[in-house]
Amino acid sequence: MGWLKRNLIFVIGGALAVGLLAASGFYIYKDWARNSAASAKLNENYATLKSLQQQKPAPGNNKVNNTAIAKEQDQQVQAWINSARKYFRPVPAVPSGAVTSEAFASALRRTVDQLQHEADGASVTLPPKYDFSFSAQRQLVKFAAGSLPPLAVQLGEVKTLAELIFSTRVNALDGIQRIRVSEDDTAGPQGDYTDEHSVTNDLAVITPYVVTFRCFTPELARVISAFATSSNTLLIKAINVRPAGAADMEESAESANQAATAAAFYGRYARRRMPPAFAPPAAVPAASRGGMQMVLKEQLLRVTMEVGFVNLLPKS
């Protein structure tokens, strides 16, 4: 104890020196660890740079700056996307904005009347009292909850589709089919609807429709051209073309079979009672005509076309 008292200053100085040495050692160790981590990161960056330089295309060198070229090309792509967006304009809903039952009922009646007058002006024949696939909603004034927005969108798309068909002056519009979007659609006629469903991907929603019309081949070409040049993107998924007469025969096949059965029955009954002198004469084959033989004859076609409206998803 006496020695500590005599050398107290020396002991305190020694303790401070030891503490400073320990602190400096810890600081050196900490910096060494940080330097080691920085060195490892630097080596990793060197390895990444070396691998990039060996890739094709590489970031570039003193003569070619591929990074700047990539940025320029990205700007060109963005400019093309902006210019192509005008071809993907959504079809305005009818009516637009907030939709009420009264507003939709009035817009539906007005739109159907307008389309019927446009069909008359274009000399396009429609089915009697045709409601353009809205037979279930034509006489309603109140609609199922939540169905008004999709019905307004469909009315706008059906209007656009019908006007495109009218602009090509086809002979007749047999019908337009849409998907069911309302509880009211369950009471509508089957001919107003298609069993397809909307398809949603990462970019857009594709809403299907089926349109059936009668025309000749020039009008069919004009319909396809009108769809291709429309500002509202329409995809033609399938086309079924057949002679209009064959389609009519298929639709009346059952009635024709019944008529043939009745004719056969009454024919046998008449022959059984008809005297031989009044038997019908045998058919005489028509004499062949001379001249050139007809190879191709234009005939009326019945076209069933599956199309889809493309509506881009909003930007996230």
Residue 41 belongs to a domain: no
| Structure confidence at residue 1 (pLDDT) | 62
Rounded to the nearest 5 degrees, what angle is found at the Cα of 102, between the Cα atoms of 96 and 105? 75
Average pLDDT, the chain: 82
Percentage of the chain beyond pLDDT 70 is 77
Q: Is residue 236 part of a domain?
A: yes
Exposed e or buried b for every residue in 30-41, given b needs 16+ CB within 10 A? eeeeeeeeeeee
Residue 223 lies in a domain: yes
Mean pLDDT by 10 residues, the chain (316 residues): 67 76 77 82 83 67 75 89 78 90 94 96 95 93 90 96 96 96 90 93 92 95 92 90 76 54 48 48 56 69 95 77
- CB count in 10 Å sphere of residue 121: 9
Asked if residue 179 belongs to a domain, the reply is yes
Domain-located, residue 19: no
Q: What is the pLDDT of residues 35-51, one digit of tens each?
A: 888 888 888 888 887 77
Over residues 125-140, the pLDDT tens digits come to 999 999 999 999 998 8
Q: Which residues pair with 235 in a beta bridge?
A: 308
Q: What angle do CA 125, 127, 132 make, to 5 degrees?
A: 100
DSSP structure class, residue 60: B
Q: For residue 112, what are the CA distances in angstroms to 163, 179, 228, 281?
A: 12, 18, 25, 55
Within-domain flag for 31: no
Q: Is residue 188 part of a domain?
A: yes
Q: What domain range is 104 assigned to?
A: 90-248+300-312
Tell me if 170 is assigned to some domain.
yes
Contacts of 60 by beta carbon, 8 Å cutoff, 6+ apart: 66, 67, 68, 69
Q: Please report, for the domain that includes residue 102, its CATH number.
A: 3.30.70.60
Domain count, the chain: 1
Distance from C-alpha of 20 to C-alpha of 27, rounded to nearest angstrom: 10
Q: How many residues does the chain have?
A: 316
